[in-house]
């Protein structure tokens, strides 16, 4: 007879024996008969225990009540829409308990993860399940199970492994007015950012048992969030002082940083496009604590937060490879995860060699660039991730890369250049405010011994310009910089005078600029005026902004250097 058949036979025997015992006790209620028939195999008596954990879906966190009920039997039941990782937790729990001197209880164990209609994903439920099973079996006694939220993956020896989403879980635990949160040691600093909550970082399940039973006392983790946050805000590995020459492009990047504008750089290989793009975060305004908290939550949910990190103090810089898929870029998947655009929230998304990206993948950027959020809808879930980022792109001007390069001959025809540029759609290009051409740096500039202007000096001007915009848009919800202005706001804050309008009209006729370039020019001109400290947009600001619309010119591919 197989083991499965034997198990079923024992289960049926105990079930009918259990019913028979209650029938006997109803007509002859003696303690001796009750103990004989209700627990003939010395199985645990009925006991229900509840602990608390959390389920993370997107950036939303739901408190999960872990209910464990043990009655005579031999089966293990798990309800509450747990995924494969949750169901496999039984084997990890059994091994961890045995390794630490506890027996996995023999009985009919029923576990419910409430709310039962919410999907539960990941291995973070191992710890609360193990503690609840021990308490339900009577192996441990604690009166504080309802005071703590617990998350953590168990190793086979009972050690706690790090989990995703510790920061948003800590925020939820504080909102639920729980006394404390128990997390793996690797996640303690991340969760301890949340004040008015006791956070305990534990190495293994034995430490957790000692804490909740009162067998040992542990000090909650303390993080001086503000001190660490402000200390790390001005430390950058890359600086614009390393850049030689390229004053016009440096100026364009300064304007982009001051107004939050998207920018594309077009130039031959080796002209410094990637080098300057990577230094852009060093001139952006520092993160506020609210922005840092929001950014850290996204990286925490994605599992991208470095171990031992409390808060992200510098604006993120994400540079995905051009082979990236749509889901990896915008987020989603079977288990919804934030994509690269959300990981770049409050920072920079850099697309190097833009035409090499799949065109369909690039098109999914159009809506997030406008709405600054991405909503992912599937048949079983809908999640929303924020994605307010600066989009910086670079590309070669033609397939060979040397169009308009004074030191190399281009071998591409006008048609080839046009087809290459057409890989970027008009609607996407329309969302890029600043377009600048780059030429290689001459040898006399490369060989200069003195460094260029440092990032700190540029950043001071950018911060002053952003302060002006903050005061200007204080009454407009969701508007923080000039790049976010609506058309009505453009007419209110960036209305050009008669001389500027005449200049605009001449430029549009001479360079065959499209109508869509009009609002972009006014937005950039408003930022240039803010950098200059001017109250109104003037003709010189308009003239500089017109110079940043090179790709909109109808004769761009025909302006060749021989």
pLDDT tens, residue by residue, 399-437: 998 888 888 888 988 888 888 888 888 888 888 999 998
Is the Cβ–Cβ distance between 83 and 113 less than 8 Å?
Answer: no
Calpha distance 161→85 (Å, rounded): 14
Could you give the angle at which helices 455-472 and 247-259 cross, rounded to 10 degrees?
Answer: 30
Smallest Cα–Cα separation from 200: which of 159, 163, 149? 149
Could you give the angle at which helices 539-546 and 498-510 cross, rounded to 10 degrees?
Answer: 20
Helix, strand, coil fractions of the chain, as percent rounded to 5? 45, 15, 40
HSE-up (13 A, CA, CB side) for residue 14: 21
Calpha distance 296→298 (Å, rounded): 5
Smallest Cα–Cα separation from 338: which of 55, 53, 60? 60
Calpha distance 333→362 (Å, rounded): 18
Q: How many CB atoms lie within 10 A of CB 404?
A: 20
Is the Cβ–Cβ distance between 436 and 265 less than 8 Å?
Answer: yes
Please provide the distance, in angstroms rounded to a whole number, between the alpha carbons at the two ends of the chain.
89
Is the Cβ–Cβ distance between 300 and 167 less than 8 Å?
Answer: yes
Calpha distance 305→190 (Å, rounded): 9
DSSP state of 484: G
Smallest Cα–Cα separation from 295: which of 317, 315, 319? 315
Cα-only R_g, the chain: 31
pTM of the shown model: 0.87
Strand 180-184, strand 148-150: pairing: parallel
**Sheet of strand 390-395: strand arrangement:** 317-318, 348-351, 390-395, 263-266, 434-437
Is the Cβ–Cβ distance between 285 and 463 less than 8 Å?
Answer: yes
- Containing 76, the helix (H) or strand (E) segment is strand 76-79
Calpha distance 164→431 (Å, rounded): 34
Query: Is the Cα dihedral 290, 283, 483, 330 positive or negative?
Result: negative
For tokens 């031999």, name the residue.
74
Calpha distance 178→209 (Å, rounded): 18
> Can you give 151-171 as a three-state secondary structure string?
CCEECCCCEEECCCCHHHHHH
Q: Give per-residue pLDDT as tens, 65-104.
A: 999 999 988 899 999 999 999 999 999 999 999 999 999 9
- Containing 415, the helix (H) or strand (E) segment is helix 414-421
pLDDT in tens, the chain (562 residues): 565 556 555 555 555 554 444 444 444 443 333 333 344 444 445 578 999 999 999 899 999 999 999 998 889 999 999 999 999 999 999 999 999 999 999 889 999 999 999 999 999 999 999 999 999 999 999 999 999 999 999 999 999 999 999 999 999 999 999 999 999 999 999 999 999 999 999 999 999 999 999 999 999 999 988 888 888 888 888 999 988 888 899 999 999 999 999 999 999 998 889 999 999 999 999 999 999 999 999 999 999 998 878 899 999 999 999 999 999 999 988 888 999 999 999 999 999 999 999 999 999 999 999 899 999 988 777 899 999 999 999 999 899 988 888 888 889 888 888 888 888 888 888 889 999 988 888 766 666 667 789 999 999 999 999 999 999 999 998 899 999 998 899 989 998 888 999 999 998 888 777 777 888 999 999 999 999 999 999 999 999 999 998 777 655 555 543 3
Calpha distance 439→368 (Å, rounded): 31
């Amino acid at each position: 007879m197989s083991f499965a058949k034997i198990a079923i036979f024992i289960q049926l025997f105990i079930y009918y024996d259990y019913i028979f015992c209650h029938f006997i006790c109803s007509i002859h209620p003696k303690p001796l008969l009750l103990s004989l028939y209700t627990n003939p195999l010395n199985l645990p008596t009925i006991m229900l225990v509840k602990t608390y954990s959390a389920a993370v879906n997107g950036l939303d966190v739901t408190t999960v009540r872990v209910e464990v009920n043990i009655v005579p039997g031999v089966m293990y039941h798990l309800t509450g829409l747990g995924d494969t990782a949750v169901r496999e937790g039984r084997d990890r729990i059994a091994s961890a308990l045995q390794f630490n001197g506890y027996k996995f209880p023999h009985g009919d164990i029923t576990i419910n993860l409430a709310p039962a209609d919410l999907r539960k994903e990941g291995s973070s439920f191992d710890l609360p399940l193990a503690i609840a099973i021990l308490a339900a079996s009577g192996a441990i006694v604690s009166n504080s199970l309802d005071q703590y939220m617990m998350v953590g993956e168990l190793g086979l020896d009972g050690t706690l492994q790090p989990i995703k989403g510790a920061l948003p879980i800590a925020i939820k635990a504080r909102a639920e007015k729980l006394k404390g949160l128990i997390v793996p040691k690797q996640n303690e600093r991340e969760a301890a950012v949340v004040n008015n909550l006791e956070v305990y970082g534990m190495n293994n399940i034995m430490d957790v048992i000692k804490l909740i039973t009162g067998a040992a006392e542990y000090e909650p983790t303390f993080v001086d969030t503000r001190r660490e946050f402000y200390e790390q805000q001005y430390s950058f590995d890359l600086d614009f002082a390393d850049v030689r020459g390229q004053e016009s492009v440096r100026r364009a990047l300064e304007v982009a940083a001051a107004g939050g504008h998207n920018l594309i750089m077009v130039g031959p290989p080796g002209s410094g496009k990637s080098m300057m793009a990577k230094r852009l975060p060093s001139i952006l305004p520092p993160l506020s604590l609210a922005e840092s908290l929001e950014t850290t939550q996204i990286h925490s949910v994605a599992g991208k937060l470095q171990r031992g990190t409390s808060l992200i103090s510098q604006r993120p810089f994400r540079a995905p490879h051009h082979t990236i898929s749509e889901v990896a870029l915008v987020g989603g998947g079977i288990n919804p995860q934030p994509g690269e655009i959300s990981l770049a929230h409050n920072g920079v998304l850099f697309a190097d060699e833009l035409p090499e990206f799949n065109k369909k993948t690039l098109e999914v950027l159009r809506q997030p660039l406008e709405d600054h959020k991405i909503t992912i809808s599937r048949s079983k879930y809908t999640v929303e991730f924020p994605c307010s980022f600066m989009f910086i792109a670079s590309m070669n001007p033609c397939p060979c890369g040397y169009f308009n390069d004074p030191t190399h001959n281009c071998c591409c025809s006008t048609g080839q250049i046009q087809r290459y540029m057409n890989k970027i759609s008009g609607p996407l290009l329309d969302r890029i405010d600043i377009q600048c051409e780059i030429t290689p740096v001459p040898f006399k500039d490369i060989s200069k011994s003195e460094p260029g202007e440092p990032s700190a000096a540029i950043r001071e001007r950018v911060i002053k310009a952003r302060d002006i915009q903050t005061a200007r848009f204080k009454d407009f919800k969701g508007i923080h910089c000039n790049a976010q202005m609506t058309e009505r706001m453009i007419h209110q804050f960036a209305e050009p005078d008669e001389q500027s309008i005449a200049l605009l009209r001449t430029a549009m006729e001479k360079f065959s600029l499209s109508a869509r370039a009009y609002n972009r020019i006014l937005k950039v001109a408003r930022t240039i005026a803010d950098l200059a400290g001017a109250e109104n947009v003037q003709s010189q600001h308009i003239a500089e902004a017109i110079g940043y619309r090179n790709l909109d010119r109808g004769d761009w591919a025909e302006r060749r250097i021989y």
